Structure 1
Amino acid sequence: MIAISIHTLRAAGNHIILLAGVAFLMLPILIIFASSTHQTGTLVQDGLMLVPGLNGPENYAQVLTMQAGFTDQITALDMMKNSLIIALGVAGCTTLVSLCGAYAMVYFRLPFAGFLFWLTLATLLLPLESRFITTFLVTDALGLINTHLGMVLPTLAVALGTLFFRQLFLGFPNEYLEAAKLDGAGPVRFFLDFIVPLSWKRGGAIFVVTFMIGWNQYLWPLMISTDESRYTLVRGIRLIGQESGPGMALIMLSILPPLILVLIFQRYFFRALADEKNAF
């Protein structure tokens, strides 16, 4: 009985700590949602709210139908479309380039392959903000100012994806490659028939991570675009006022897409990144 009681108390304590951590992490989102259902005057006078109000439908309807900017031509749906294009571009390109790069480093006899890998990882030490000027000059020279492509290319998180894919490939049994050679498969067929099917869970996890990176970009789209038609959802928050009810509604809308993506793919996401035995 004593052993069972100690075990029960320990399990209860672990669950209490877990629930406290979840509550701590979810509290800002709950505050944003509750504040998005109040009038702007109430938020200005009393600050952010924890209890929902009665103006939620009005605030969200105002956000979805608003026309903001200097020319009153940009809408929330337009900004959401721009954010989605950038996020999907960053996620898709990062996953594909990382997959190909890791495949070349592991399965091809490249000179200085180890040095190239560590050089790729070194790019993580230089965030985009530290190279804004040179990146802007290159983007301008390529004629990519005020374009979605100009917002996507400099933000590719290739090093992170390459690291995860390389570690996955190093864990593959050598029998895979030997079986492919006996079957007469070349590098392209081995890549398409073996590597891609075995890597889709890890690739999905990297896609989710880089989607959130692309979705939450603020400074680079701010620098690279002067056309209001290229405004992203995160950038557009300042157009309606962060401390207003509709502003809080817009912030809530900017949280939903990456949150829904994580909720849908959470099973594969955590399994691919944390459990090497089930990663393929």
Structure 2
Amino acid sequence: MTVQDIDRGSFTAEWERWHRQKEDVLAGPHGFLAITGLHWLTEEPTRFEDAPGAWSSTAEGVAVELADDEELVLDGQVLRGRHDFGIIAERDSLYPAAGDAVIEVAKRGGHDIVRPRHPGNALRTSFTRTPAYAPDPRWVVAGRFLPFEAPRPVTVGASVESLEHVYDSPGQVEFELDGTAHRLTAFNGTAPGSLLVLFTDRTSGVTTYAANRVVQIAAPDADGRVSVDFNRAGNLPCAYTDLATCPLPPAENRLPVAIEAGEKIPLERGGRG
């Protein structure tokens, strides 16, 4: 299918639906814009202003000690007194409720964290929209997936200084822009077989967020063919808040071209419509 074959009305409507759904998650009652704190846990039980209980992290995992007038609710179970959450796997999260808030308990970069999410957080209540380039079919490019013989661990930086993430990469995605071939290291996406690519380009820090953007790619077909839709190059949470631990792209994923598609710098970071 060529650009001329695409129904631009349907293409734009589908993009708008994707963008709206993405923003609904971001600005939901307990989305990333509701986060009020990023707390790094230690062995010493510590209280935080935006969460009930005293929280700690040891070799046995995360624990909270709740006062007599405090409680949390996790999967319908009311938690009182001391509760041991146990060892949380890397990139996993638990979400016990505290009134109308949830207290995310997670592990990022090998560190246990508590990240409260309050619906009344000003960053959330003042949110309006994320500016973006107008969707254009020319930014949907055909490519192919080049699998590695075995997944390779790739260490990348994070939006939090000195933090690192390690992801298994199943391979690379190759495509052409204006006659020049490019290869990007891919990570596993959320759907089985799908791919996720973190990247920057020459718009980064100019019209798009400087640190990273992400594009999801559907699973390759039997011949390894993929479609890369840069119109759906989206911001990660760190584009909006310093309370995120987002991964940075691998060094080889810094494109030497301007990808004038997808989401731009958020208004919250000084972006323009």
With CA pairs under 8 Å and 6+ residues apart, which has the higher RCO, 1 or 2? Answer: 1
Structure number with the higher strand fraction is: 2
Q: Which TM-score tier does this pair reach, normalised by the shorter chain?
A: under 0.3
Tell me the TM-score normalized by structure 2: 0.23
